[in-house]
Structure 1
Amino acid sequence: MKSKLQLLKDIAEFLNEETDRDTMIEGALKLLVDHSEFETGWLFFIDSDGNPELKAHYRLPPSLEKEGYHHLCEGKCWCVNKYNNRELERATNIFVCSRLEKARMAYPGENNNITHHATVPLLSGDESFGLLNVASPDTEQFAKDELDLLESVAFQIGSTLKRIELNAQEQENMIIRERQRLARDLHDSVNQMLFSIGITSHAAKNLKDREKLSDAFDSIENTSKHAMSEMKALIWQLKPIGLEEGIIDAIEKYAGLLGLELEVSVTGFYDVPDNVEIGLYRVMQEGLNNVRKHSGSNQAVISIVSKPDELLIGIKDEGIGFDQKEKSGYSYGLGNMKDRVKKLGGMLDIESKQGEGTSIKVSIPRGES
């Protein structure tokens, strides 16, 4: 059995790495029970209407597992009532639990001598998520140090639940921003090109000069090809990322869709986790979008330098550049890149002057990224 401090440290390290709610609560409950005096545990989430839902359990006695956890989840519950009335703030011994008593009576000899339990709310600031319950055989009440341990673990779980919730909200916000950006791109490019095709087609109806009519058809054809290329690039961004052949192959194909001549160089051994590679690919995509739209150049250079402690990405063009003190289409396009790099724990720097091109440098720490 681990010391209280060691157990809290191990649970904290586990929680810091988890991003999935269900995996997190199951793993934390298992760690708590496996390395403490507690023999079993179960956890309820309670919604805004006060309805509890069993979300995790570990080493339950058979009497509580019977009939689809009927006796654990059904009937009156002192803990839930106190929680819903906001009268439960700390870890507490429960001296009479009707649910445990009914399970014992329904299945004599199958409760593993568990007749009482302790409970603690899962809190984060003013927000509450549910209840964590623990029990042990032949134990009617737990000592203060055991309740303190339970309360500390509940606080850790509550804080992690809030973090995961905030991360999910931020991911949703990023998706919304991405959709808005694609909608703007669609409106600013393809929509205008289609409008141009419509105007040219309408005007061509009244042309009698064969040379002018031929010019109009050439204009329609070229604009249509440009619109098709633009649509392919936008659809590519919406499709699942195809990195099966590696990030270099994927970004070269994307550059081709944009009509850019791309030079790619790699220094060092490139090996990163999938989530980092996807993030870097999106950053490169955004960088190439900016080159095509704002640089006035059809050429770009991407460099990847892999070091033991960091990964360096460079995106450079020899285009018209821009004044960094002034807002421009190019500078607006950097917002998504900065957000993505920040998510990877990295930094983004930009150097640009009018008439001298633009250079974007990204650094991502290696290791646990």
Structure 2
Amino acid sequence: MNNPTHMQELITLKTIAETLNHSGTLQPMLQNVLEQLLDLTGLTTGWIFLMDTSHEYEFAADRNLPPALTYRDKQPMKCGNCWCVDRYHGGRLHNAVNILNCKRLEDAEEQRTADTGGITHHATVPLRSGERSYGLMNVASPGKNHFTDSELALLQSVALQIGGALERIRLFEAEQRRALLFSKAGEFGGALAKMASGTGTMLYLVADRVTQLLGETFAEWPLAALFEPEEGGYTLRSLYVGTGLSHQAGSGTERLRSLLTRGAADSRPVRASAAELAELRLATGDNGTQLKAAFAAAVPSWCRQSAVLVVGCNGSREEEATQVDAVVIEAVAEHITVTLERVKLEEQQRLLTRLEERNRLARDLHDSVSQILFSLSLTAKGVEAMLTGENDGPAAAAVRDMRQLSQTALQEMRSLIRQLRPAGLEAGVLSALQEYGSMLGLRIQTEMEGVRQLPPAVEEALWRIGQEALNNVVKHAGTRAADVRLSLLPDRTVLRIADQGRGGVLKHPASGGGHYGLANMKHRAESLGGSCTITSSAGNGTVVEATIPLGRLSDRDPMTGGA
């Protein structure tokens, strides 16, 4: 190598290095470097492909392409493979090499689409930094079908400089993305806390709000979904895709069992494989967001088994959906978990406050009104005994009525106290209703279908509905027997109380008949998304049937999160 050539190489490297040091954005940097390289080396044509591990490539920069490669807005450069790209993905491209000919130009000649400008061969140089590969650069000139070792060494040196600049930009973009995502994670955490703070928000109202808030806060994550474990698998419960919530059925989630199982079991978010990513698109009805990556993270607070938060990321290159997203997704999942724990504790506190107030009222009634009624009953009984016999008359009859009324009032008060302070629910709703019916003097025949743990909110609602129904049997049915059946089905629970009494005396709450007990039964069931029906006809008895849905996040208990 003579001295002028050596000096020209040094000038080329110095100029390229200065250009790279003054460039901060990717596309302009690649274009400027390519143009300067061609000017300094006397070559006429060049182009750069950026690539990722998914075997996709991006046409990133070019100069002086022949007409055969520029028609239809440079379509030949944006699709299809060629020998240099195949070598790159096959791991056979490590240094600057001569490519004997260009497949894209050969195809253009065969199809006679346009002039190739006399270019038949190009040199291919991989863009690398350390062990990381970013793509490749091709350079050529008309009639040039060979590159010397010195030319290839210079091209390789320039390519290494470009690779280092790409690594610097990648790290800078990653830090920018990290800062942006963590800033949005803070906004998300504040909005989530505000949503749940002091509003009495039940857990079953949070699912859709969480995914919607995620989608609206993170434009970088076009897909957010919550999957709930159910019957040995997972069901899609809440989904944000593109620009809004979607309530499609989650029938396709069986294909995601591997990803969801790993996500629920691992303490850190797990990344979906290429196959799992494809299945995620199918399962969630991805509408063209072109997900580049997806992560699954456990959200333990939803239920005894972990629900799984799945977040999909997009970007023009795989590097834009990096492990940075996984770190932020982990923080987001922790935000959700802490918020749900907080909501659960607030609901628990409200329930304990209600129970304490009921117990206080029950004690006060027992210590005051109940004792007064008991004393009144004893006094009336004593006066009745004094008036019995020869003094028996209207006064004695009035005292007897007073004693009977006081005993009835005492019995009603004891029933009210028991309703205020329900005991025996530890053994289940059915056992508690049987015991309550026996206290009322009823013969209760019980039947149970299925086995599962009921949420306390559902259990208490069924208990109150059953109490009112049994009270109505005593007051109106004219019979001392009732059948109580509790069905625990996969998606709902049904409480059915039937008697063979006179029937026909109860009006539906909506009829305005003044039966507040019936209205309360209906309200309790509807407050949990269920229904309560009363069927009664003269001579055929009465049937009360309360149905409350189960098995969805929206029906989960605020105390336990389990069904």
Question: Shorter-chain TM-score category?
Answer: 0.3 to 0.5
TM-score, normalization: structure 2? Answer: 0.32
TM-score (norm 1): 0.47
Larger radius of gyration: 2
